[in-house]
Structure 1
């Protein structure tokens, strides 16, 4: 009398997975890296949802990447960084100068943002013309002019 085979035979996919564990691991790792990259590239940072610490780091990183030769508009900067922490504006000889301050470092944990805790961006007719201390100096010179 022949003995019956009571062993359960694995399905072809399960068998393949067991024999190719390294390939499965590498594939899963590649899929994870691809999904992470897609999120980083296509999911924009929302500055309104960031903690103040994260926002300072974000502002510093973005502003330090700006070059005056990039011809950035005020709208582009606001779309990327959100609303400024402090603003000032003056109109001189039909030219509009706007100074936007974005907090990039905290010097006193008092809950109040001051200009010395920010990096200034100067716009002339809504085009970025100066960054940092140079922006503040240019704005003060223009706003004092008769």
Structure 2
């Protein structure tokens, strides 16, 4: 009985080590998803972001952005990464109005969303009709 318990505990320990290693090194590949799946994936993970996260960790989580921009400001250079989060038109292209902007300063997540883009970049994300 003690031998069986040792085998079970050893198996659990190996499983725990392997699972931990996979979770620490796994990088999502959202590029392999359909555009519908990618929108859901992006919305889900953007909602879990925290201010101050490093750009590298966001890129590792979400993959490359659909669109990117760089801007100069009095407070420092700003990098904006746009990730597709909502469908607007079936034209085969991702446009800014179909994305959520993530704003970085000094490689740290400063803010995200349309109002944050307007506040930090100084222009509206979408032109008013």
Give the 5 Å matches for 1:49-88: 49-68=32-51, 71-88=52-69
**Equivalent residue in structure 1 for 2:77, among 93, 96, 117:** 96
The TM-score with structure 1 as length reference comes to 0.62
| 2:127 alignment counterpart | none
- Are residue 127 (structure 1) and residue 108 (structure 2) matched? yes
- In the alignment of these two chains, the number of paired residues is 102
More helix by share: 1
Instruction: Write out per-residue CA displacement over residues 8-49 of structure 1, whole angstroms, 9 at most, x where no aligned residue.
Output: xxxxxxxxxxxxxxxxxxxxxxxxxx9xxx6xx746532121
Q: What is the CA distance between 1:139 and its match in structure 2?
A: 3.2
Write the distance in 2 (CA, Å) between the matches of 1:107 and 1:114: 9
> How much is the aligned-residue C-alpha RMSD, in angstroms?
2.1
Q: Partner of 1:98: helix, strand, or coil? A: strand
C-alpha change, 1:83 and 1:44, in structure 2 (3 Å) is closer
State TM-score, norm by structure 2. Answer: 0.69
SS at match of 2:100: strand
Larger radius of gyration: 1
